[in-house]
Structure 1
Amino acid sequence: MVAIAPKAEKRLTTQIAEIAADTTTLRSLDWDRDRFDIEFGLQNGTTYNSFLIRGEKVALVDTSHAKFRQLYLDLLKQQIDPAEIDYLIISHTEPDHSGLVKDILTLAPNITVVGAKVAIAFLEDLVHAPFEKKVVKNGDTLNLGNGHVLEFVNAPNLHWPDTIFSYDHKTQVLFTCDAFGMHYCSDAPYDEDLEKISPDFRFYYECLMAPNARSVLSAMKRMDTLGDIATIATGHGPLLRYNVEELTGRYRRWSQEKAKSETTVGVFYVSDYGYSDRFSQALARGVTKTGVNVEMVDMRSADPHDVQELVSRSQALLVGMPPSSGAESKTAQKALSMILAAVNSKQAIGLFESYGGNDEPIDPLATKFQDLELKTAFDPIRIKDTPSEATYQLLDETGTDLGQELNQAKKIKKLKSLDADLQKALGRISSGLYIITAQKSDVKGAMVASWVSQASFKPLGFTVAVAKDRAIESLMQVGDRFVLNILEENNYSDLMKHFLKRFPPGADRFQGVRTRPAENGSPILADALAYLECEVSSRMEMSDHWLVYCVVQDGKVSDLDGMTAVHHRKVGNYY
């Protein structure tokens, strides 16, 4: 049975659904949210999912975002007197899932909070009041009675350091919080429409899970020992019931591909301090676009051995400034000392501020790394204002530039590997010359494109191949809009020269170029022969490109006698 709360404005609503024996989900539906976490854009809102399990004892798995305080608490009270809840299981302490923990403790002061050791420590700092607690580790169980035996799975870094999964052996429901979720808001509580949710599922993985691919594989190895999984009760989006094997298989395959990389970047941050976790995630997202493996370590809870081991096998290290004082700084400073002790001169270092108000000064630390003769991955990123979308674009592009640089030697080797005749034959496939321009809120992007081809009449549509390591890729998700500018024969060299430049991260790619806004908000190049306003309808993954299918919404030719510029390559294994 599904009961849906009335929706007056379709903005913040709630929903309950019985998902298994004695098991209810309480879903908080955030229909209009368009930015999340590391500031990647959301096309379809999001949900925050919480769960009640009733045995002889009652457990509440996670809470909700603070913006849903009254709606969520009212919904919970309709289901049960909160004072009757015996356990509050914290999958992880990120505020969108633990934002109402204080409220639950007020309503149920005798409740026992269950979580990983790190999660309990974080909550103690958050609540600042005594509460009953139970620390669990991998393989521990909690017997709720009536056959509901919960087994806990250690899943750190998915995507916070304190994450645990909970598996109910009676119902075969696995509660995974962020893992296997997606930012997708719908009245449908389950994953019936695989085709519809697939783009959001993949985008969520790339933004939040890909930077921790090795951790994903480790968690899935532990999942394999649990037995059959009938439902994955995620913290965001629809629950997985109809496509469990398919979607977990995608996670495993994607993570194996990421982990294969011979090149690793270690990213060190401090969770829940300033914007450290968000900044580090944005940098990691940029690096992973290039196929370079990223591993993230929270310096607040880091094991010294793990820090030393990651540093020893990383080609580059990215470090967010930890707090210089306070209770949370002690472990972070110890991790920082371990990094300094373990680095070698063949590695590159990149430092960035966390904007926490108490950051370790960046210059003395930069000097220490310089004295150790480390290469500079990028100039220290100093953030002086409240982060904006442009801040996250800067971080994403900085990560992409670093990944491309680390891949350079491998790329040259690959270019030389193909048969020369085959290269020349493939290069004879001709194509036009185009410039893609896109804008989403305050973030702009542009890319020279040549792999463009009409793909349909009804609707009018075409495909464009976008390399995975292109910065503009994040502006070409399903539902995004952009402009395809078609360049004119004998009148394209200035535009090509401008947009083929290597722009520094965060630079305005349109400075000095004549543009006007399209109906969809993206820039139209005034000197282009023609333009098409488009919307991304679907994406297909290739080995090193995304094949993006776009529906045309509008367009115009400036000179009916003008001809499209044509591009001829000599070889077919690079642009």
Structure 2
Amino acid sequence: MVALTDRAQPRLTLETREIARDTTTIRSLDWDRDRFDIEFGLQNGTTYNSFIIRGEKTALVDTSHAKFRDRYLEVLRQHIDPSEIDYLIISHTEPDHSGLVKDILAIAPQITVVGAKVAIQFLENLVHTPFERQIVKSGDELDLGNEHVLEFVSAPNLHWPDTIFTYDRGTQTLFTCDAFGMHYCSDATYDEDLSAIEADYRFYYECLMAPNARSVLSALKRMDKLGEIGTIATGHGPLLRYNIGELTGRYKEWSQAQAKAETTVAVFYFSDYGYSDRLSQAIAHGITKTGVNVEMMDLKSADSHEVRELVGLATGIAIASPPISGPGADIAETAIGTILASAHDKQAIGLLESGGGNDQSIYPLSVKFKELGLKQAFPPIRIEQTPNEATYKQCDEAGTDMGQLLSIKKTIKQMKSLDSDVDKALGRISGGLYIITAKKGDVASAMLASWVTQASFEPLGITIAVAKDRAIEALMQVGDTFVLNILEENKYQNLMKHFLKRFPPGADRFEGVKTQQAQNNSPILSEALAYLECEVVSRMECSDHWIVYSKVDAGRVSNSEAMTAVHHRKVGNHY
């Protein structure tokens, strides 16, 4: 094992290890990365995993992030002369995995790049120099010799349109890039400790895979035909060896539940342009939180038939504006025309400009959809600067608004579905009135709550039921901190009225409210009777809610004589 460490912040280290016969991993450990795309507040950093397979010929599977350039190339040279590498397999072209492709080809121009057709097209724009290539699809094989026969599996949209898996029959190792991975950085190469990683595993799935649930199920079916899998060599986090059945089973269970949703939103984006893919993923994530299914489609690689078919089955459409001129503009114009021709007045529409600087304006596009009778799901979002945490959160909330709009009829039906006696009896369970406040980086949120109870003495702990479609839910992951503000009897009406409002995506929920800053950086409401500073320890899934268990770190009462406000409901099947 080799480790190189940069003592400057952030901490970047590399680990190498033999994971199978003739197979070495180079794991780039990014210990201090605290955010990844739409995922707010990574608690455990991340890793970028690369692999060397040696047969009679040698293949390198993926590279690393550009921030590891010098370290990665040094370690690679310690294990193999780059001139001896025959193939560079590109699982997909997202920069955190292909960021060093150009560097590899510069020192080893003899390499044949292996990837999906779309991946090779993307790389041509990334590398800008000629290179040998081999396009592969599901079922194609590459024989490296010494029993290392590689079989390729197409897995588009997991979570990139050009994704392929690679299965080495000789070692029963499946290289899956993003799929089955997680943003989790530790000294453990493998998944021995399931309890330590399962929260990050689920969070990663929710953010990146849930919006592509049907694609996940398709990939799992293709995997079933490969034979026994002894190791899943992921692109992020620990490799899977000890809990493969359990963890792939969870993907199947979660994806089946998502894919069964009665309502589908088509999310269209234009890869490699502006922040189209990232922002679209954030919108898709927000939609899936409401139980609505999402189908994402890259307009750069989709044909008109695929676009028309997806629009036809969708109840809602979200579009990240493509370029209006330059490379790809003709493809984009045709795709937008197809969407407009296929849309109808029973659908909802959401638009955003993706920040490429040459975007097709969302305002005339919005007018065209309005003329067709489509209902606006959220106000058009215009990106004028580099997206930050608040931008991604705005898109996430816009997606949630869209999902709630499209599922409102189902929600009303569920509210009326319980037997009236059961309904009324359940409503007799009373609770206090609280406002949860949280802040992470530039993102802050709040939620009115009544399903709160003390759960433990040692440590002092509480549980809170948080609906999956609440904006604050993304800030209540394991390791996150928040404040529970306890409202005062006969003095809660103003705060309750304020936080019951429906806030537009990205709106400041604390505007006009007096606050103080807690030690954990979350807002304390000055008018609250008492507050508790809390840290999330674990989460349990309960259909439409998460039960969030948190330890209490600090607290204070402003008026020891006052009583907590109590909430009495008449029915128990809605708030």
**Aligned to 1:435, what secondary structure does the other structure show?**
strand
Matches within 5 A, 1:354-503: 354-503=354-503
Moved more, 369-378 or 467-476: 369-378
Distance across 1 between alignment mates of 2:281 and 2:329: 20
Distance across 2 between alignment mates of 1:378 and 1:545: 24
Name the structure 2 match of 1:542: 542
Matches within 5 A, 1:12-51: 12-51=12-51
Amino acid at match of 1:231: T
Deviation at 1:362, TM superposition (A): 2.0
The count of corresponding residues between Structure 1 and Structure 2 is 574
The reply to whether residue 113 of structure 1 matches residue 113 of structure 2 is yes
Distance across 1 between alignment mates of 2:117 and 2:421: 60
CA contact (8 A) 1:183 1:200 kept: yes
Name the structure 2 match of 1:4: 3
Distance across 2 between alignment mates of 1:20 and 1:111: 23
Taking structure 1 as the reference length, what is the TM-score of the superposition? Answer: 0.98
**Aligned to 2:508, what secondary structure does the other structure show?**
coil
Deviation at 1:440, TM superposition (A): 0.5
CA contact (8 A) 1:480 1:535 kept: yes
Name the structure 2 match of 1:303: 303
CA contact (8 A) 1:64 1:100 kept: yes
Distance across 1 between alignment mates of 2:504 and 2:371: 26
Name the structure 1 match of 2:291: 291
Deviation at 1:7, TM superposition (A): 5.8
Give a deviation string over 1:499-549, Cα, whole Å, max 9, x none: 111111111111111110000000001111110000000000011000000
**Aligned to 2:407, what secondary structure does the other structure show?**
helix
CA contact (8 A) 1:300 1:329 kept: no
The reply to whether residue 533 of structure 1 matches residue 533 of structure 2 is yes
Name the structure 1 match of 2:340: 340
Distance across 2 between alignment mates of 1:466 and 1:307: 36
CA contact (8 A) 2:438 2:445 kept: yes
**Aligned to 2:59, what secondary structure does the other structure show?**
strand
Name the structure 2 match of 1:150: 150
**Aligned to 1:5, what secondary structure does the other structure show?**
strand
Where in structure 1 are there 5+ consecutive unaligned residues?
none
**Aligned to 1:175, what secondary structure does the other structure show?**
strand
Distance across 1 between alignment mates of 2:184 and 2:388: 23
CA contact (8 A) 1:537 1:551 kept: yes
Name the structure 1 match of 2:213: 213
Name the structure 2 match of 1:78: 78
Distance across 1 between alignment mates of 2:402 and 2:136: 38
Name the structure 2 match of 1:555: 555
Amino acid at match of 2:177: C
CA contact (8 A) 2:377 2:405 kept: no
Deviation at 1:39, TM superposition (A): 4.9
Name the structure 1 match of 2:87: 87
- C-alpha spacing 1:551/1:112, structure 2 compared with 1 (3 Å): same
The reply to whether residue 186 of structure 1 matches residue 193 of structure 2 is no
Distance across 1 between alignment mates of 2:105 and 2:134: 15
Distance across 1 between alignment mates of 2:558 and 2:33: 38
Taking structure 2 as the reference length, what is the TM-score of the superposition? Answer: 0.98
Deviation at 1:379, TM superposition (A): 2.2
Name the structure 2 match of 1:137: 137
Give a deviation string over 1:153-207, Cα, whole Å, max 9, x none: 0000000100000000011100000000000011111111100101100000000
Percent of paired sites with the same residue: 72
Deviation at 1:330, TM superposition (A): 2.8
CA contact (8 A) 2:178 2:235 kept: yes
The reply to whether residue 262 of structure 1 matches residue 262 of structure 2 is yes
Distance across 1 between alignment mates of 2:31 and 2:50: 17
Distance across 1 between alignment mates of 2:357 and 2:531: 46
CA contact (8 A) 1:302 1:331 kept: no
Name the structure 2 match of 1:242: 242
Give a deviation string over 1:56-95, Cα, whole Å, max 9, x none: 0000000000000000000100000011000000000000
Distance across 2 between alignment mates of 1:39 and 1:387: 13
Distance across 2 between alignment mates of 1:401 and 1:374: 16
Distance across 1 between alignment mates of 2:3 and 2:385: 41
**Aligned to 1:96, what secondary structure does the other structure show?**
helix
Distance across 2 between alignment mates of 1:103 and 1:270: 26
Amino acid at match of 1:179: A
CA contact (8 A) 2:282 2:392 kept: yes
Amino acid at match of 2:159: H
